[in-house]
Amino acid sequence: MAATSELADRFAAAEKRLYLVGGSVRDAILGAEDDPAGISDFDLTTNALPDEIEAILKGWADALWTQGKRFGTIGAKFKGRTYEITTHRAEHYSPDSRKPEVTFGDDIETDLSRRDFTINAMALELPSMQLIDPFHGIVDLAASRLRTPLDPQISFGDDPLRMVRAARFIARFTLEPDEELVGAVHAMADRLSIVSAERLRDELDRLIVLPVPSVGLWFLVKTGLAAQFLPELPGLELEQDPIHHHKDVLGHTLAVVDKASPERLLRLSALFHDVGKPKTRAFTDGGVSFHHHEVVGARMTKKRMEALRYSNDDVATVTKLVELHLRFHTYRLGWTDKAVRRYVRDAGPLLDQLNELTRCDCTTRNANKARQLSRRMDELEVRIAELRAQEEIDAIRPDLDGAQIMEHLGMGPGRHVGQALAMLLEVRMEEGPLSEEEAFDRLDTWWAAQQT
């Protein structure tokens, strides 16, 4: 604590108070950190104004940044640790604004009252380490309860994103939301309309990588929050048909999310993998079907992720995994070399993620069926390893390139070159690598057929 003590001394010399706040205090109480000295990023608050904070930090910090100054925050770096120091404040949204309106204050309890939840509304005064807990956050942690410091309608009115954040804390710390909190979320869910897509996206990303995100995702669905920014999720609550008793798609989806490794894009792929089912559901004499739901789902996934302002790379990755998540099941009769090559080529660098998503997609309680699927996936991975040992299966391409084709056939660029490449690629997929001589023979045979 030497660095924070030194910092607190500088604030004391300026006749200002300094408090450690936020998750670091909560996590220290929970034992997530042995003590605050183990924390590498510090969130602090003070009664000093932004200009005063900046002046106090100059000459001490290794680096300063002031991008958040108009919101009361000055950032600093000192000996590898990051400090964000914010003037005591209250922030709230006007009914039609996406950005918080900030007012500064000089009282720690008022500052804490404007924070999201009681478990985050605790502070340690520095350097004395006296705990400030006016809203009984410690009690709520012990009781595994999630409450807001003020009336939840006031807290959520200050920042509606807190309703979505509640889902994350419920899942992360296994908390039971207070009845008044739940009621306020139900009543105020439509207030999410003033929250930017980027902030909603970031909160979803934080939730989706938790050990058991389904707890928070259920909260989003049941309170009506998901309907506001992720309507595909509650859309999976399909009506149960009394004759064709089909699986609960929402429950299955959340089970797949929990099973997947806590990697953001893989978890998002699990979340979206069946979103096309409601639009493709059809009842037949044999039961219920969802033909081409992976194709429809990929389009829906792209549209939703773009609306949430995900990057093009993120959209492309998740969309491709959704589109390919049933590909494994098209090879029920066994894995020929051609099938393996095509599967690996289509998956590309996403092969491992696709295989894991396929395994996680099996949530059946039928032990025999689960063993069969696992065995088939094992067989596929063995076949992939065998072919990798024999050929460059991860970089499948025609055995001749365009320049060789044009030189050999005495032609310039054009559609025939593309057709020749497509033919040679299909041969490569079907038969494996050819020698250059064999490839030219196939090219000659194909070209002769084009002339007749």
* Residue 413 counted as domain residue: yes
More confidently predicted of 367 and 208: 208
* Residue 4 counted as domain residue: yes
* Residue 83 counted as domain residue: yes
* The domain boundary residue, chosen from 106, 140, 174: 140
pLDDT digits (tens, 9 = 90+) for 287-318: 777 878 989 999 999 999 999 999 999 999 99
Q: Does residue 49 contact residue 87 with C-beta atoms inside 8 Å?
A: yes
Hey, what are 351's tokens? 């092969």
Domain identity same for 324 and 389:
yes
Label residues 13-29 b or e (16+ Cβ within 10 Å = b). eeebbbbbbbebbbebb
Query: How far apart, in whole angstroms, are the C-alpha atoms of residue 133 and residue 115?
Result: 12
pLDDT band at 391 (very low <50, low <70, confident <90, very high): low
pLDDT at 141 over 90: yes
pLDDT digits (tens, 9 = 90+) for 215-230: 999 999 999 999 999 9
Query: How far apart, in whole angstroms, are the C-alpha atoms of residue 156 and residue 185?
Result: 8
* Residue 369 counted as domain residue: yes
Domain identity same for 2 and 133:
yes
* Residue 261 counted as domain residue: no
Domain identity same for 360 and 336:
yes
Burial of 69 (0-12, 13-18, 19+ CB in 10 A): middle
Hey, what are 442's tokens? 């196939």
Domain identity same for 294 and 421:
no
* The domain boundary residue, chosen from 105, 140, 175: 140
Hey, what are 366's tokens? 């039928």
Q: How far is CA 187 from CA 78, 124, 183, 316, 449, in A?
A: 45, 34, 6, 36, 71
Residue 134 amino acid letter: P
pLDDT digits (tens, 9 = 90+) for 330-341: 776 667 888 888
pLDDT of residue 373: 83
Domain identity same for 391 and 446:
no
Burial of 172 (0-12, 13-18, 19+ CB in 10 A): middle
Task: State the angle between helix axes of 351-360 and 249-259 in degrees (0 to 180), rounded to the nearest 10.
Answer: 130
Ramachandran quadrant class, 223 (left: phi over 0; alpha: psi -120 to 50; beta: rest): alpha
Domain count, the chain: 3
Hey, what are 291's tokens? 């033909």
* Positive/negative CA dihedral, 63, 64, 67, 68: positive
Following CA atoms 356, 361, 365, 366 in sequence, which dihedral angle do they give, to the nearest 10 degrees? -80
Domain identity same for 441 and 343:
no
pLDDT digits (tens, 9 = 90+) for 278-292: 888 877 776 777 878
Provide mean pLDDT across the span 338-357: 88
Provide mean pLDDT across the span 178-198: 96
The closest of 381, 383, 398 to 432, measured between CA atoms, is 398
Domain identity same for 4 and 61:
yes
Domain identity same for 382 and 406:
no
Domain identity same for 281 and 307:
yes
pLDDT of residue 64: 93
* Residue 158 counted as domain residue: no
Domain identity same for 305 and 348:
yes
* pTM of the predicted protein model: 0.82
Domain identity same for 16 and 103:
yes
Identify the residue whose tokens are 């919101």.
71
Q: Which helix (H) or strand (E) holds 183?
A: helix 179-188
Q: Which residue segment(s) compose the domain that 412 sits in?
A: 402-451
Alpha helices in 308-435 (DSSP H): 312-324, 337-347, 351-360, 367-390, 402-409, 415-431
Domain identity same for 125 and 14:
yes
Which residues are within 8 A (CB) of 282 and not within 5 positions of it... i.e. 6 or more apart? 288, 289, 290, 291
Q: Which helix (H) or strand (E) holds 19?
A: strand 18-21
The closest of 397, 451, 438, 447 to 419, measured between CA atoms, is 447
Query: How far apart, in whole angstroms, are the C-alpha atoms of residue 330 and residue 332?
Result: 6
* Residue 26 counted as domain residue: yes
* Residue 354 counted as domain residue: yes
pLDDT band at 425 (very low <50, low <70, confident <90, very high): confident
pLDDT of residue 53: 94
Query: How far apart, in whole angstroms, are the C-alpha atoms of residue 365 and residue 252?
Result: 11
Strand 123-126 relative to strand 145-146: parallel, antiparallel, unpaired? unpaired
* The domain boundary residue, chosen from 117, 140, 163: 140
pLDDT of residue 157: 92
Percent of the chain with pLDDT strictly greater than 90? 53
Task: State the angle between helix axes of 293-307 and 312-324 in degrees (0 to 180), rounded to the nearest 10.
Answer: 160
Hey, what are 153's tokens? 């309608």
CATH number of the domain within which 99 lies: 3.30.460.10
Helix (H, G, I), strand (E, B) or coil at 60: coil
Q: Which of 97-101, 333-337, 435-439 has the highest mean pLDDT?
A: 435-439
